[in-house]
Amino acid sequence: MVAYEVGYTEEGTDFAMLHRAVDLAARHHLTMNFFYHPVYIARVEACRRAIDEMLRYLEERGLRPAFMGPDEVWRWWSARSEARIEEVVASAGEVSFAAECGYPSGFVVKVPLGFGRVEECRRNGRKVEWREAWEFGQRWAFVVLPRGRSRLRLRIGRNR
């Protein structure tokens, strides 16, 4: 997705449009290219104000994007496309699997929980943190994993 020179016009700023672009990317977990020509950054005050507003709005929303240029997005996307989830074992109250990705900064595994809640999450036998969110009609667990292969086990309880 591309947000091309979004957030300002010749007449001034358009923060509502900028907010909609950020909200769209956040809501649907999109990669979003916020592109601004360097000449406009240097010469147009409204362009710089739009960029400042984007950074402020990201902080206000509690969003932590990964800032990267197009080449790095390609490297991330390529590594992500080769990621693997294997050896899945699901039983009442638990799911475990092996996850592997070669991206240097690691990757996020998104586990559907239905209406359940994670009670415990372990990576290679050690407790790790996770985040849960209600999205797209169910609850999900998000677990950040380092580069390489990990064995993940989530103990899942009923939503209280």
Q: Using CB atoms within 10 A of its CB, is residue 104 exposed (0-12), middle (13-18) or buried (19+)?
A: exposed
What domains, with CATH codes, occur in the chain? Answer: 2-65 (no CATH), 83-158 (2.60.40.1730)
In whole numbers, what is the pLDDT of the chain averaged over residues? 95
The number of beta carbons lying within 10 Å of the beta carbon of residue 121 is: 18
CA–CA–CA angle 90, 91, 97 (5° rounding): 25
Give per-residue pLDDT as tens, 23-74: 999 999 999 999 999 999 999 999 999 999 999 999 999 999 989 998 999 9
